[in-house]
Amino acid sequence: MIEYPTSELEFDQMFTDDASCLDYLISVRWPNGPRCPKCGPDKY
C-alpha cells in the first residue's frame, strides 16, 4: 500500500532530498518497477 505524507512534517521526513522524492514517484507510478510500454524490459 502506498503511504502518502499527511502533514508538512511527514513530507519533510519522507523527502529529504531529490533522490528520495524521485524514488517515491517512481514507486507510485510503477509499483512493480518502471517498464517500457512498448518493449517491456525493466530498464529505463
pLDDT of 16-31, one tens digit each? 999 999 999 988 988 8
* Burial grade of 15 (CB within 10 A; 0-12, 13-18, 19 or more): middle
pLDDT of residue 2: 82
Quote the CA–CA distance of 42 and 35 in Å, as a whole number: 5
pLDDT of residue 42: 63
Average pLDDT over residues 25-42: 81
Tell me how many domains the chain contains. 1
Which CA distances in Å does 10 have to 7, 19, 22, 24? Answer: 5, 17, 16, 13
- Please give the grid coordinates belonging to residue 44: 529505463
DSSP 9: H
Domain span at 41 = 1-44
DSSP 14: H
